[in-house]
Structure 1
Amino acid sequence: MRADRLVATLLLLQARGHVTAPEVAAELEVSVATARRDLESLSTAGLPVYAQRGRGGGWALLGGGRTDLSGLSGPEVRALFLLLGPASSADPQVRGALRKLVRALPASFREQASAAGAALVVDPSRWGAAPPPERAGAAGGADADARAVLEDGVVARRRVSFAYVDGRGRTDPQRRTVDPWGLVEKAGTWYLVAGTATGRRTFRVARMQDVQVTDEPAQRPVDLDLVAEWAAARAQVEELRARVSADVLVEPWALAPLGDVLGRHLSPGEVQPDGRTRATVTSDTATMLARRLAGWHDAVEVLGPPDVRAALAAIGANLADRYGTPTTDR
């Protein structure tokens, strides 16, 4: 796991004071490029790791080159645990390592470190697709500033307020104030999982504007499990996205690529005498389902229901009107 390497790299820096990427690579049995990326990750995350350029250069810890965990500042502790926390949600060994690291910290930092370690979850799969075995890299983006403020609120256990833009680009005139429980990166898109007066809600970070941390303490369940909360929220969304189903026949050559695109929204059934596979495809509306299948017109036959077939016919008529009569300039 990458988290194991990052901790090992930090401890190697602590022991030696100064290392080069090839030395880290040889010690941890990884490529030089991987070692360099890990060192850069520690540095950009806010830890006191910096590059020494020129002949005899390498990487060192700020302040004389040697420190221990008790020498990390509050922001550095937070940066380390925000960086390693997502891996701990998927690996019990990493969780155990983080618990040991927490115990090695000064008492005044332990609460903050625990909060930061549990603040983030990474779910690299697309909506409707099964999670892959490896984590996708955390992405930046236009919502990075809002995300940084939200991280402050999650770690400090303070309520956050913001204006919210809906899916059609309309801003709600009334600001919202919520209890931030944690942040989730799903396939490059960030979400806030929060407690509200009506229960758990998720908010797309890119739609949150003017995010502010308030002075009000956040209400947070004592036994909160962010991974489980996100799994429940994800299941609700997937259920909403599967309210309409269609009965289809899929050509043999198209079954695998169609499954890659639709993920959980394709459920293959029995192979028919003509070689095609009978399957069920789901989506949130008949129109959206038709749009998903229109591009597979030569590989998928929709048997029903009638409203999905009618939506496909409407798409076909639209395409014929727009592109059916080519013009030639002479």
Structure 2
Amino acid sequence: MRASRLLSVLLLLQNRGRMTADELAAELEVSVRTVYRDIEALSAAGVPVYADRGRTGGYQLLGGYRTRLTGLSEEEARSLALAGLPGAAAELGLGTVLAAAQLKLYAALPERLREGAGQVAERFYLDVPGWHRGIESLPYLSVVSSAVWDTRRLRVRYVRWGNREVERVVDPLGLILKAGNWYLAARCDGTDRTYRVSRIRDISDTGETFERPAGFDLGEYWRRWSEQFERRLFSRIAVIRLSPHGQALVPFYTGVVGARALRESAGPPDADGWVRLELPVEPGRQAIGELLRFGPDLEVLEPADLRAELAEAIAAMGRRYV
């Protein structure tokens, strides 16, 4: 552990130039006293690191010194796939590992390319979760991730829709991050299934390994599963009219499902710019709430029962405000 940290200190100084003890301590998540000991150890090992005293001082390497010790560990190499998702890496327990891997890559780059890579991090930041959702509790995500890597069979206690708890023995095949939510693709009783990681209530290792199914493609599996999920979720078709303003609101109110319907099923606009299309909606009262968001910019034409339900909801709202 200390050898890895000493290498991180060396690479930080090599990549960033002068750094204070406080800055190094914050970067490595250790105490300032530990940084002092690490600097002494590097000096004793012959690394030309020296300190500038004073308020603007800090530690730096003698000009021109560079290490070529940039080999990546297995964990660090794995973590590079999450280089654009630091939050995801932290949730998986790979935050510090990812930082170490990035340091080693920066150290191996020529100076011009290294400066460009640093500027990207300064100017662009990826924040995956949406605004309108709480932060999920994910106490078992790192356990699931390790089992995916090591093909370890797991026993999980899981809360299904309707708050019914079930126990399953699963072979974890892959993890998917969708709009800030983590999902596990796993084989259970010979069938590939999807589990939302935040709904796992308990987990244990069975002590068994499994053989990954030949030809399993995680991306293709998720594409097919997502399409099936959309068809189950949006099982009702509403024939509607939308004003020009309502058309602009579709991506915000109905997401990719509505945007696809507008693109693929909308007819030509009438004289006022209104278009007719078929919009997949959820069954029950959920559809009423979604359609009411459009206000006067949407009219339901069919089916008749949905039009009647919407008219009744609008009338009840009108009575509320009389």
Normalising TM by the smaller chain, what interval? 0.5 to 0.7
Note if 1:252 corresponds to 2:250.
no
- Is the 1:14–1:66 contact (alpha carbons within 8 Å) kept by the matching residues of 2? no
Matched letter for residue 156 of structure 1:
D
Q: 2:69 aligns with which of 64, 67, 70?
A: 67
Distance 2:169 2:83 in 1: 25
Equivalent residue of 2:139, what SS? helix
**Which runs of structure 2 are paired with 1:66-145 in the superposition (5 Å)?**
67-69=69-71, 72=73, 77-84=74-81, 136-137=127-128, 141-145=135-139
- Is the 2:17–2:60 contact (alpha carbons within 8 Å) kept by the matching residues of 1? no
User: 1:200: which partner in 2?
Assistant: 192
Matched letter for residue 18 of structure 1:
L
User: 1:130: which partner in 2?
Assistant: none
Note if 1:154 corresponds to 2:145.
no
How far apart are 1:141 and its partner, in Å? 4.5
User: 2:164: which partner in 1?
Assistant: 170
How far apart are 1:14 and its partner, in Å? 11
The verdict on how the C-alpha distance between 1:169 and 1:211 changes in structure 2, with shifts beyond 3 A counting, is same
User: 1:55: which partner in 2?
Assistant: 57
User: 2:97: which partner in 1?
Assistant: none
How far apart are 1:286 and its partner, in Å? 4.8
Distance 1:141 1:297 in 2: 30
- Is the 2:253–2:293 contact (alpha carbons within 8 Å) kept by the matching residues of 1? no
Q: Alignment RMSD, CA only?
A: 3.8
Equivalent residue of 2:226, what SS? helix
**Which runs of structure 2 are paired with 1:310-325 in the superposition (5 Å)?**
310-320=308-318, 323-325=320-322
Point out 4+ residue stretches in structure 1 off by more than 6 angstroms: 12-15, 50-54
Matched letter for residue 272 of structure 2:
D
Q: 1:217 aligns with which of 205, 209, 216?
A: 209
- Is the 2:184–2:194 contact (alpha carbons within 8 Å) kept by the matching residues of 1? yes
Distance 1:218 1:312 in 2: 52
Q: 2:306 aligns with which of 305, 308, 324?
A: 308
Distance 1:161 1:79 in 2: 28
Note if 1:19 corresponds to 2:21.
no
Note if 1:264 corresponds to 2:264.
no
**Which runs of structure 2 are paired with 1:22-33 in the superposition (5 Å)?**
none
How far apart are 1:137 and its partner, in Å? 4.1
User: 2:92: which partner in 1?
Assistant: none
Distance 1:283 1:294 in 2: 12
Task: Calculate the TM-score normalised by the size of structure 2.
Answer: 0.61
How far apart are 1:136 and its partner, in Å? 4.6
User: 1:273: which partner in 2?
Assistant: 271
Note if 1:230 corresponds to 2:219.
no
Q: How many pairs were matched up?
A: 236
Measured against aligned partners, the alpha-carbon deviations of 1:54-76 in whole angstroms (never above 9, x if no partner) come to 833589xxxxx763326x3xxxx
Gap runs ≥5 in structure 1 = 1-11, 24-35, 45-49, 60-64, 88-100, 102-133, 326-330
Distance 2:160 2:312 in 1: 28
Equivalent residue of 1:144, what SS? coil
Measured against aligned partners, the alpha-carbon deviations of 1:6-51 in whole angstroms (never above 9, x if no partner) come to xxxxxx979967335489xxxxxxxxxxxx9xx96xx69xxxxx99
User: 1:6: which partner in 2?
Assistant: none
Equivalent residue of 1:310, what SS? helix
The verdict on how the C-alpha distance between 1:220 and 1:67 changes in structure 2, with shifts beyond 3 A counting, is same
Q: 1:298 aligns with which of 296, 299, 320?
A: 296
Equivalent residue of 2:58, what SS? coil
- Report which of the two structures shows the higher radius of gyration computed on alpha carbons: 2
Matched letter for residue 204 of structure 2:
Q
Distance 1:55 1:82 in 2: 34
Equivalent residue of 2:183, what SS? strand
Distance 1:256 1:221 in 2: 44
